[in-house]
Amino acid sequence: MLPGWQGIALAGAMKGEGPNLLLLAEVFLGAALMRAAGCAYNDIVDNDIDAKVARTAERPIPSGHISDKAGLGLRHRLQPGQPRDPVDARPRGDRPGRRLAGARSIPS
């Protein structure tokens, strides 16, 4: 968020004006929504680990207060345009049963 604000302030200064306050607010809102979406996604992906750790076991998803599906719905509303399924968010080579046409495996 701060680099975005700095860029907005510099752009305003280049025009001899102050920073665009509406744009500053939009960048803040966007950063907050992206952070919230990232937290929701992390809770879904780390569900099994969080359930085993005393400090995180009472979080909504590991404790069962919210389902994985509801968590994914929240993430999708906060960050539209992203894959709904965590499997789809993995790099293509890590997706089970999916290969690009003509793709070759790289020897290890």
Give residue-wise pLDDT tens across range 17-47. Answer: 999 999 999 999 999 988 888 887 888 888 8
pLDDT at 43: 81
**What rounded mean pLDDT belongs to the chain?**
76
Q: Is the pLDDT of residue 79 over 70?
A: no
Runs of H (alpha helix) within the chain? 2-14, 21-45, 47-52, 68-78, 86-89
- Alpha-carbon torsion, ordered 55, 88, 29, 9, to 10 deg: 110
Give the pTM: 0.56
